[in-house]
């Protein structure tokens, strides 16, 4: 017995399994498959092929995302789910990426954003938008670190010594997510 598969004419998320001129089964496969094998000897072989195809496509997508820029685990998971891979495959891929050390940790993301000149309020919002825990921000970034970064940025954003210029500097630092009381302490 030989079986062939093709995309469903009614719903493109399904594959139809055919034996001679009779449709035998429908399989759910919402992800993109470019090439189908010509035939299979058993339906179990089709199931194995479909699982392997999903795994390969999801893995390729995940590694491609990582190659473009660093991602958090939650971010990769969401993007893979958006591409309509199964949750089980997404979890396995994320675990593999964690095991291989390709996913960025929360603490590393916090320090990277801080070095770029952003304060804890901005970093919390950015981490939440990426699906990361923002609880580490207050323990990772101390007030002393903030004060030093504020001093550094205040020189960069200083527009003069008059009152209006200082207000402009304070607003610029607030937009970057620093604490107002620490800003006011540093910008006199």
Triad 166, 121, 132: Cα angle to 5°:
155
For the chain, which residues make up each domain, given as ranges?
A: 4-100, 106-186
Q: Which CATH class is domain 4-100?
A: mainly alpha
Lowest mean pLDDT among 7-16, 18-27, 59-68, 135-144: 135-144
Please compute the mean of the pLDDT values over residues 125-134 and round it to a whole number.
Answer: 77
Per-residue confidence (pLDDT) for residue 89, from 0 to 100: 94
Which of 91, 120, 131 lies closest to 179 in space, CA to CA? 120
Triad 110, 126, 114: Cα angle to 5°:
30
Q: What is the DSSP letter of 66?
A: H
Please compute the mean of the pLDDT values over residues 174-179 and round it to a whole number.
Answer: 91
pLDDT in tens, 8-35: 888 888 888 888 888 888 888 888 888 8
Please compute the mean of the pLDDT values over residues 97-106 and round it to a whole number.
Answer: 82
To the nearest whole number, what is the mean pLDDT of the chain? 86
Does position 61 have pLDDT exceeding 90, yes or no? yes
- Percent of the chain clearing pLDDT 90 (strictly above): 23
Triad 171, 172, 173: Cα angle to 5°:
90
Integer Cα distance of 144 and 156 in angstroms = 19
Please compute the mean of the pLDDT values over residues 50-75 and round it to a whole number.
Answer: 89
Going by pLDDT thresholds of 50, 70 and 90, the confidence category of residue 56 is: very high
């Amino acid at each position: 017995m030989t079986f062939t598969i093709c995309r469903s004419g009614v719903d493109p998320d399904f594959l139809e399994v055919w034996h001679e001129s009779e449709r035998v089964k429908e399989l759910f496969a919402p992800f993109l498959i470019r090439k189908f094998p010509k035939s299979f000897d058993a339906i179990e072989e089709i199931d194995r092929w479909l699982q392997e195809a999903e795994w390969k496509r999801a893995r390729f997508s995940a590694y491609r995302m990582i190659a473009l820029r660093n991602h958090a685990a939650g971010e990769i998971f969401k993007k893979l789910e958006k591409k309509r891979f199964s949750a089980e495959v997404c979890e396995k891929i994320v675990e593999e990426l964690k095991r291989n050390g390709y996913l960025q940790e929360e603490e590393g993301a916090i320090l990277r954003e801080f070095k770029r000149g952003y304060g804890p309020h901005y970093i919390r919002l950015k981490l939440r938008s990426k699906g990361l825990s923002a609880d580490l921000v207050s323990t990772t970034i101390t007030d002393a670190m903030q004060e030093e970064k504020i001093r550094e940025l205040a020189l960069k954003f200083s527009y003069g010594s008059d009152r209006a210029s200082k207000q402009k500097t304070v607003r610029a630092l607030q937009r970057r997510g620093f604490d107002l009381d620490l800003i006011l302490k540093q910008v006199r």
